[in-house]
Structure 1
Amino acid sequence: MIKYLKHTEINYAAWDACVKQSPNALLYAYSWFLDMAADQWDALVYGNYDAVMPLPWRKKWGIQYLYQPEMMQQGGVFSRVSLSPDLVQNFINAIPEVFKLVEINLNFGNNFKLPGLTEKKNLLLSLAHSSEILRKNYSENTRRNIKKAEKENFTVSHSFDLKNIMQLFSENKGAEIRISELWKKRVIAITSALHHKGIGHTISLYSNNNQCIAGAFYVVFEDRIYFLFSGSGQQAKSSGAMHLLIHTLIEKHASKMYFFDFEGSNNEGLARFYKGFGSTEQNYPELKINRLPYIFRWLKK
């Protein structure tokens, strides 16, 4: 039986134990991450925490809805019992009617052909090989850009450098997609909390005149390295700096039992860039349900 639990009713210890024992366990599903990322979250629980599903929610115009929090690529059902299409469908059916709009991502272990689900792309690279073998699997274009960047003699910094990385993102990609100040504050709060927890790190590339030209925030947790956030400017694009930055991270963790999770992407150009490192798809579904009153449903369109 699947039960709906309000946030105050959730047993955090039992929840996290279920997530940890799930073959599809991910950083985003742990209670402490959900507390960081979600405005509010309730839950669906099967049996004695044999399977769980977080329900991150907000309220607007008096209407409660499920949404995908910042920095949280995947949610959905995490289970220490066998995952099946029927189990995932039962969880979807159990989402309370009080949530009039549902726009959330499930996870790679839930990627079944079910009504209301649309597949989204994610790319993953096993690092359980030597750096030499990993590099051989790079595309010719990726190897060429790494060599070009190496000639620039960039300085690699592993000191925590979130301020400069956020500035690069805000002035370039962020300006293009018009990110809000609220979004920036949320991302800074989450990344800073992950850093203080000892699992969040940054890597930056500096030019000869000590300018940060590219950087990324990533998390090393359990068997994954999550490439959560990056920033780069025009000089990085022309010099191949981001190729070198990711290559440096891959080399640092090569021959270890990690997966490098590129965190996307449905963007064709970005997916091609990530695939240039030899990554393969491990996709996940998006769930959309619209129960809004007719007038709101029309506005949503």
Structure 2
Amino acid sequence: MIKRIKYQNIDFEKYSFCIENSIQKNFYCQKENLDFLSKNWEILVYNDYEAVMPIPFVKKGFWKIVLMPLFCQQLGVFGKSDKSINEEFLKFFKKHYIIINYAFNFHNQFDTELITKKNFVVPVQEYAFLRRKKYFKGRKSTVKTAQYLEFREVFTTPDILSFIKNNFKGLEKQKDMIFFIHYILFLDYEDKLKLFGSYFEDQLTNITVLIDDNNSYSLLGLLNNEELKNHNGASFLIDRILDQNIENKSFNFMGGSIRGIEVFFKSFGSDLQEYQFIQNSKKDLIKNWLKIS
């Protein structure tokens, strides 16, 4: 049986237990992370927290509109889960909510056909094998030619935050950039942040912004100094991080639907992980609104 539970009525002890003991466990669904990324969220629950599904939303008048928050890639069903249970969640979800977009996690499978998005992950393995057998030939060559660069861990100092502000691409609104910086500081406070930089003669060429979630790194941002991009600092950085960590931590590239970016991620020997996604047009939203009302 699926139940809808508002935020103030969630039993967070049971919620956290379900998440922590699920095969689908990820960073995005943790209470602290959702509290920061989404002003409003609630959950769907299967029986007595045997499975849970967090639902972020925005309020438009009397309506709750489901919308994935910035920097949150995959939610979905966590806990006891098979196709039949997932299908129950999906039917309840589509019946009771107006949905702009919502991403399930890559473990979730359904009888209903949904669109998919691409993600690329390098699983834990021996680095020497990864580079020798799985790197694309061109990526090996690029990495080799960039070994004169210097690799450093960096921190949230004013100059590093300024570099991020000046070089991050993909956020058109100033308020989104401010939110991104605040999120970085939140992750730092939660001890979930790792920043690495590449340098050429003490000039910062690139920075990786990573979410450090115990057994994995997730790439939140890869920033390039356009004036120094000919040094191939991005390839150098990713390779050095894999070299130092891939035998203990997987590496999640956090996306890859754009062709050029997809090829870049795949060139490091990453595996494709597709996840199910719901996305509706304005026309679809009107239809959903008429059904719910």
- After TM superposition, the score normalised by the length of structure 1 is 0.87
Matched-pair identity in %: 23
1:231 aligned to which of 210, 214, 223: 223
Secondary structure of 2:101's partner?
strand
Q: Letter of the 2:180 partner, please give it.
A: V
State the partner residue of 1:197.
Answer: 190
2:174 aligned to which of 174, 178, 181: 181
Equivalenced residues, count = 287
Deviation at 1:168, TM superposition (A): 4.9
| 8 Å CA contact retained: 2:198, 2:207 | yes
State the partner residue of 2:93.
Answer: 95
State the partner residue of 2:41.
Answer: 41
Secondary structure of 2:48's partner?
coil
State the partner residue of 1:5.
Answer: 5
Secondary structure of 1:74's partner?
coil
Q: Which stretch of structure 1 is more off in the superposition, 258-267 or 153-162?
A: 153-162
Distance 1:211 1:111 in 2: 47
Change (3 A) 1:84 1:226: same
Deviation at 1:64, TM superposition (A): 2.1
Residues 24-77 of structure 1, C-alpha deviations (whole Å, 9 max, x = no match):
111101111111111210110111111110110002355421111111110111
Q: Which stretch of structure 1 is more off in the superposition, 24-33 or 234-243?
A: 234-243
State the partner residue of 1:206.
Answer: 199
Distance 1:195 1:55 in 2: 25
1:287 aligned to which of 274, 278, 286: 278
Deviation at 1:100, TM superposition (A): 2.2
State the partner residue of 2:76.
Answer: 76
Structure 1, unaligned runs of 5 or more = none
Residues 124-174 of structure 1, C-alpha deviations (whole Å, 9 max, x = no match):
111231x21121121111111112211xx3222212147656655654562
Structure 2, unaligned runs of 5 or more = none
Q: Does residue 1:215 correspond to 2:207, yes or no?
A: yes
> Which residues in structure 2 correspond to 1:44-123 (within 5 Å)?
44-60=44-60, 62-79=62-79, 81=80, 83-95=81-93, 99-112=97-110, 114-115=112-113, 117-123=114-120
Distance 1:162 1:282 in 2: 34
| 8 Å CA contact retained: 1:106, 1:286 | yes
> Which residues in structure 2 correspond to 1:129-168 (within 5 Å)?
129=126, 131-136=127-132, 137-150=134-147, 153-161=148-156, 167-168=162-163
Change (3 A) 1:189 1:30: same
- After TM superposition, the score normalised by the length of structure 2 is 0.89
| 8 Å CA contact retained: 1:168, 1:213 | no
Secondary structure of 2:28's partner?
helix
Instruction: Please provide the CA RMSD for this pair.
Output: 2.4
Deviation at 1:283, TM superposition (A): 1.1
Change (3 A) 1:287 1:275: same
2:261 aligned to which of 250, 270, 277: 270
Distance 2:246 2:20 in 1: 24
